[in-house]
């Protein structure tokens, strides 16, 4: 069964400039730069590039190209950022192995040892 027809991915001049800046920026995360490269490759020359061709040129899977192309088309530039992860937020700064005080156990097995 053939895949559904892709709609053309059209970029404004400001979006194209922002994506190109993300690709060139040395301090940008590599994942964000790769997402920008994917979108730029999908929108190249105003033609609809096949997902497999874009994926092969960037050495990523067809599914990854489809994911970021769809997210960009629905949310534009905001769609390229990471979505919040489920669960409790990470706790930074906790270092129990460097605690100043500790509590001794009163368990009989601990006292015997």
Q: How confident is the model at residue 89 (pLDDT cuts 50, 70, 90)?
A: confident
Give one DSSP letter per residue of 57-92, joined into a string: HHT--HHHHHHHHHHHHHHGGGGGSPPPPSSSPP--
Residue spans per domain, the chain? 13-80
pTM confidence score: 0.72
For residue 5, what pLDDT is reported? Answer: 80
Q: How confident is the model at residue 85 (pLDDT cuts 50, 70, 90)?
A: confident
Q: How far is residue 25's CA from residue 65's CA, in Å, rounded to a whole number?
A: 21
Share of the chain above pLDDT 90, in %: 46
Q: Are 94 and 74 in contact (CB under 8 A)?
A: no
Helix (H) or strand (E) run with residue 22 in it: helix 13-24
């Amino acid at each position: 069964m053939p895949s559904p027809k892709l709609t053309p991915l059209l970029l404004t001049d400001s979006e194209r400039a922002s994506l190109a800046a993300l690709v060139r920026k040395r301090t940008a995360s590599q994942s964000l730069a790769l997402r920008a490269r994917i979108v730029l490759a999908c929108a190249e020359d105003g033609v609809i590039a096949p997902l497999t061709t874009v994926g092969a040129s960037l050495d990523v899977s067809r599914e990854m190209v489809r994911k970021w192309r769809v997210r960009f088309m629905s949310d534009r530039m905001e769609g390229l950022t990471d979505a919040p992860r489920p669960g409790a937020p990470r706790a930074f700064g906790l270092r129990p192995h460097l605690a100043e005080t500790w509590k001794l156990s009163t368990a009989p097995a601990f006292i015997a040892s």
